[in-house]
Amino acid sequence: MEKDDLIVSARKKTGLTDLGREFWDEPLDHLLRSINEEADLHPVGRFITKQRFINLLAIRLRAEYWFRKHPEILEQQLLPAWIIVGLQRTGTTKLHRLLSADPDNRWLPSWEVINPIPIPKEGEKKKDNRYNIASMSARALKILSPGFYAIHPIEVDAPEEDILLLDTSFMSTTPEAMMNVPSYADWLEKTDQTLAYTYMVKLLKYLQWKSPQKRWILKTPHHLEFMDLIEKHFDDVHFLWMHRNVYDSIPSFLSMVAYNRMIFSKKVDEKVVARHWLRKNGYMLQKALQYRLKAGNESKFTDINYSHLIENSLNELSHIYKMNGGLKPELVNSFSKSEKENPFRKYGVHKYAMDDFGLTGNDITMHTSQYQEFIRETSILRT
């Protein structure tokens, strides 16, 4: 895959040429070099990746069209945001889906976040061709990886992670969760990601312009590493931090990554996955704690225990809504309905074990000791 070919294809697909002043092509250069030299994609994986990158470029082309046509989009103030963070496999998806039942909350359905900007001539329709595209993608995933839905269900109308907005700048941890790209991951971790968050906010402003509510509900573990950038780019933000025993959550996520990578490559080494993501998870937790422990930041967090959310979600939601006047009866009804529609293990049981990745509990302890000490001191995982 070559950068210039991808850009030409995106311009041909959209009939547009302007990628915006913020477009920085170095991230794409690093990512493509890493994919071409390290990822060992099979033909289907290469095809999917190529089409996905063309679409990400097309999103930027279409966004710039709308920003020029309607300058008032970027003149808006960003809505207040509740941002769900926490390591992967800690219940962030469950909480995200529950909060989406509140009609005051603006969230990103899968069909919208995959293609946040419609093609110009379809921009006034309630649901344009983007919905059909997302439906086809979901069906393809079921065929390529039938077991994936038991790990992370993807439903066209359900909330999905806003990390997909960061992908439009080719600066996110999505690629390293999908394929083996160590040199890109190393470069990314050392690189200022201000431009990615700047553009994410621009896309969020477009989306709230099209469909405003009282607050954003956003969610991705990626933000653990960049809370300082969230603070810089969001006017009013509160973090909802999900917590789970790391000896369960980390092996579960490693299994998810292995499933993910098998969609793109026949050569997936579980021990390589473990080495990369065990260190990365520890690093993300350290960065998050570094931000949280700064003077004045503690009040920006509400902590949620994974086990408590599974056992009695309304109690945890009541804890969250204390900062919004408490749970009203109509909200309790909405949350209860959502709970029934999205039962625990709706798509089956996800089976995994540390042994699958050549790990011991000591390996996980070594990378998460600071976080675990914080958990013990605050009694967040109290039973």
Tell me the average pLDDT across 324-344: 86
- Model confidence pLDDT, tens digit, residues 34-56: 999 999 999 999 999 999 999 99
Residue 188 has pLDDT above 80, yes or no: yes
175 backbone φψ class: left, alpha, beta (φ>0; ψ -120 to 50): alpha
Q: Give the tokens for residue 68.
A: 């020029």
Provide mean pLDDT across the span 206-227.
96
The tokens of 54 are what? Answer: 């063309």
pLDDT of the residue at 124: 53
Task: Supply the pLDDT for residue 345.
Answer: 61
pLDDT above 70 (res 125): no
Residue percentage of the chain with pLDDT more than 70: 92
Instruction: Please give the pLDDT value at position 342.
Output: 75
pLDDT band at 120 (very low <50, low <70, confident <90, very high): low
Asked if residue 252 lies in contact with residue 313, where contact means CB atoms within 8 angstroms, the answer is no
Question: Mean pLDDT throughout 121-136?
Answer: 68
pLDDT the model gives residue 322: 92
Amino acid at 222: H
Which string of b and e fits 166-182 if b means at least 16 CB within 10 Å? bbbbbbbbbbbbbbbbe
Instruction: Give the mean model confidence (pLDDT) for residues 10-32.
Output: 95
DSSP state for residue 78 in the 8-state scheme? P
349 has pLDDT over 70? no
What are the beta bridge partners of residue 242? 304
pLDDT of residue 348: 59
**pLDDT given for residue 347 in this prediction:** 57
For Cα atoms 225, 229, 231, give the angle at the middle one, nearest 5 degrees.
110
pTM beyond cutoff 0.95:
no
Tell me, rounded to whole angstroms, the distance of Cα 343 from its chain centroid. Answer: 21
pLDDT digits (tens, 9 = 90+) for 239-277: 999 999 999 999 999 998 998 898 999 899 999 999 999
Asked if residues 238 and 300 have their Cβ atoms less than 8 Å apart, the reply is yes
Name the strands in the sheet holding 105-106, side by side, starting at the edge strand that comes first in the sequence.
105-106, 215-219, 81-85, 237-243, 301-305
Say what the pLDDT of residue 138 is.
Answer: 74
Q: Tell whether the model's pLDDT for residue 121 goes beyond 70.
A: no
Q: What is the DSSP secondary structure assignment for residue 81, as one 8-state letter?
A: E
Distance CA 336, CA 98 (A): 9
Q: Could you give the CA distance from residue 15 to residue 10 in angstroms, rounded to a whole number?
A: 8
Whole-number pLDDT of residue 236: 95
pLDDT > 60? residue 287:
yes
Domains of the chain, first to last: 3-378 (3.40.50.300)
- Strand intervals (E) in the chain: 81-85, 105-106, 215-219, 237-243, 301-305
Q: What's the maximum distance between 2 C-alpha atoms anywhere in the chain?
A: 57
Say if residues 110 and 134 touch (Cβ distance below 8 Å): yes
Residues 6+ apart with CB under 8 A from 275: none
What are 60-108's pLDDT values in tens digits?
A: 999 999 999 999 999 999 999 999 999 999 999 999 999 999 999 999 9
Please count the other Cβ atoms lying within 10 Å of the Cβ belonging to residue 235.
Answer: 11
What does the pLDDT read at residue 118?
86
Structure confidence by residue, pLDDT tens digits, 130-181 = 888 877 877 776 677 666 656 666 788 899 999 999 999 999 999 999 999 9
Nearest to 346 by CA among 338, 355, 356: 338
> Residue 340: pLDDT band by 50, 70, 90 thresholds?
confident
Residues facing residue 217 across a β-bridge: 82
Pairwise CA distance, residues 94 & 322, whole Å: 19
- Give the contacts of 326 (CB within 8 A, at least 6 positions apart): 318
